[in-house]
């Protein structure tokens, strides 16, 4: 065991569980790639001010949870706590919005960092796959992204998740609601920190999970009663598009999410098998974020789905993914001559696109076959001096246990046929 351990609130991904995480990432990314979203990758750290402006100075993410550092040159940087601000910054810097083909549709995958109290389903280092559609105000885009996330989860076999949907209004109608909500909240029995939040971003109070706070919010003014006609029509169009696509959702008038940049459509994917930390992903429209970080007006919408949370949801539903063989063939040489010959076979199989591994270290048959089993290989190739003298190798089906001699020159073709 090493003297060192992973930092508190983080985790290592090791085989075989890491294969499930890779499969989840691929399942989420697949419908995005098929729908015109191009891959983007951004640095793991950014200027602190990017998140202060974009995510919001009143949010817990910025005030309590960001990992910040000062470089030797004096720059203030932060490990990225979320993906949207970084992706939008990168798109603006690369002038992707000036290519004349809006929206700019992007997807990404990576690690993110927040200094939170570690608990089941909530880590200080976590993994997400996200998608952003930048530069177009269209309810069809909002619906498309929700449908693609729903499609990804269903492709994994998940069924016990729910989609919560709300509208946060826009710069025309939300200020009126904000004032009404502030007036209501100021009369409640709340702690000082929450009272400060009332003056900065009162909508965040609605997202407070404490039972004593939620009890006092029963008669809070409803945002839906303050939506302007344009926001109402936009939201109804999103709802109609989802319904027409057969996507089931629930209206949640208290859903505000934890970031300041959201406008109009906001949504969250929750799984009832995860306890208090039930959110597995979410997102929404952020029409003003580009201007907040110094860019032009670019109405946009996006989401991020937690890979860690999705894996927990799979485990909660008892779903075991049908993972592809990481190793299709495992070669077991018996003797030095067989070692050289089978290594040549393995090299040829790999060049032919067949996943193959080798029993290194000169182990005996029993130990090498145990390794073949642990590798999850579909077939084992076994050869000794007698086999080579006859110009064959023994091909063993690791599932059925059947074994047959195959001419050495025909091994590649036989395996290609059996593996399809």
CA 222 to each of CA 11, 152, 325: distance values in angstroms, whole numbers, following the listed order = 41, 32, 52
Sheet holding 329-333, edge to edge: 356-358, 329-333, 379-383, 392-397, 403-407
In this predicted structure, what is the pLDDT of residue 260? 66
In this predicted structure, what is the pLDDT of residue 208? 80
In this predicted structure, what is the pLDDT of residue 96? 96
Q: What is the DSSP string of 251-262?
A: E-TT---S-TT-
pLDDT digits (tens, 9 = 90+) for 311-358: 999 999 999 998 876 789 999 999 999 999 999 999 999 999 999 999
Among 135, 156, 124, smallest CA distance to 28 is for 156
Paired with 385 in beta bridges are: none
Q: Are residues 377 and 310 in the same domain?
A: no
Q: Are residues 399 and 299 in the same domain?
A: no
Structural domain that includes position 349? 329-419
Q: Are residues 289 and 406 in the same domain?
A: no
Confidence of residue 201 (pLDDT cuts 50, 70, 90): confident
CATH number at residue 384: 3.40.50.800
pLDDT digits (tens, 9 = 90+) for 7-23: 999 999 998 889 999 99
In this predicted structure, what is the pLDDT of residue 136? 97
pLDDT of residue 281 exceeding 80: yes
SS3 332: strand
- Domain membership of residue 100 (yes or no) is yes
Q: Are residues 161 and 291 in the same domain?
A: yes
Report the domain count for the chain: 2
In this predicted structure, what is the pLDDT of residue 359? 93
The share of the chain scoring above pLDDT 70, in percent, equals: 97
Q: Are residues 293 and 357 in the same domain?
A: no
Q: Are residues 355 and 279 in the same domain?
A: no
- Domain membership of residue 199 (yes or no) is no
The overall pTM is greater than 0.95: no
Q: Are residues 89 and 134 in the same domain?
A: yes
Per the model's pLDDT, the better-predicted residue between 341 and 52 turns out to be 341
pLDDT digits (tens, 9 = 90+) for 134-167: 999 999 999 999 999 999 999 999 999 999 999 9
For 231, phi then psi, to 5°, come to: -70, -40
In sign, the C-alpha dihedral spanning 127, 128, 129, 135 is negative
């Amino acid at each position: 065991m090493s003297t060192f351990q992973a930092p508190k609130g983080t985790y290592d991904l090791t085989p075989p569980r890491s294969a499930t995480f890779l499969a989840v990432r691929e399942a989420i990314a697949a419908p995005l790639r098929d729908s015109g979203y191009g891959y983007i990758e951004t640095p793991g750290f950014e200027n602190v001010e990017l998140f202060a402006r974009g995510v919001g100075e009143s949010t817990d993410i910025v005030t309590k949870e960001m990992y910040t550092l000062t470089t030797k040159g004096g720059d203030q940087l932060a490990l990225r706590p979320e993906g949207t601000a970084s992706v939008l910054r990168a798109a603006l810097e690369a002038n992707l919005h000036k290519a004349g083909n809006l929206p700019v549709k992007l997807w990404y995958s990576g690690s993110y960092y927040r200094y939170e109290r570690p608990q089941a389903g909530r880590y200080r280092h976590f993994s997400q796959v996200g998608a952003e559609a930048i530069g177009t105000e269209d309810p069809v885009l909002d619906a498309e992204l929700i449908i693609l996330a729903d499609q990804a989860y269903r492709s994994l076999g998940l069924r016990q998740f729910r989609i919560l949907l709300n509208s946060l209004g826009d710069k025309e109608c939300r200020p009126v609601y904000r004032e009404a909500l502030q007036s209501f909240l100021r009369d409640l029995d709340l702690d000082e920190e929450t009272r400060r939040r009332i003056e900065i971003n009162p909508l965040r109070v609605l997202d407070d999970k404490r039972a004593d706070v939620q009890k006092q919010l029963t008669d809070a003014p409803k945002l839906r009663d303050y939506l302007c006609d344009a926001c109402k029509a936009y939201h109804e169009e999103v709802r109609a598009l989802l319904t027409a696509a057969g996507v089931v959702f629930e209206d949640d008038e208290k859903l505000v999410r934890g970031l300041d940049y959201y406008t109009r459509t906001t949504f969250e994917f929750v799984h009832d098998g995860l306890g208090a930390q039930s959110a597995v992903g979410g997102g929404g429209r952020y029409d003003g974020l580009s201007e907040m970080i110094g860019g032009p007006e670019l109405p946009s919408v996006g989401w991020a789905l937690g890979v860690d949370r999705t894996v927990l949801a799979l485990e909660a539903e008892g779903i075991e993914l049908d993972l592809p063989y990481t190793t299709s063939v495992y070669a077991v040489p018996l003797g030095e001559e067989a070692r050289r010959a089978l290594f040549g076979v393995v090299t040829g199989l790999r060049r032919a696109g067949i996943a193959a591994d080798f029993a290194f270290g000169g182990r005996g048959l029993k130990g090498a076959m145990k390794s073949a089993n642990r590798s999850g290989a579909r077939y084992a190739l076994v050869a000794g001096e007698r086999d080579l003298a006859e110009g064959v190798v023994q091909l063993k089906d690791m599932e059925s246990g059947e074994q047959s001699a195959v001419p050495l020159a025909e091994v590649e073709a036989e395996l290609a046929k059996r593996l399809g």
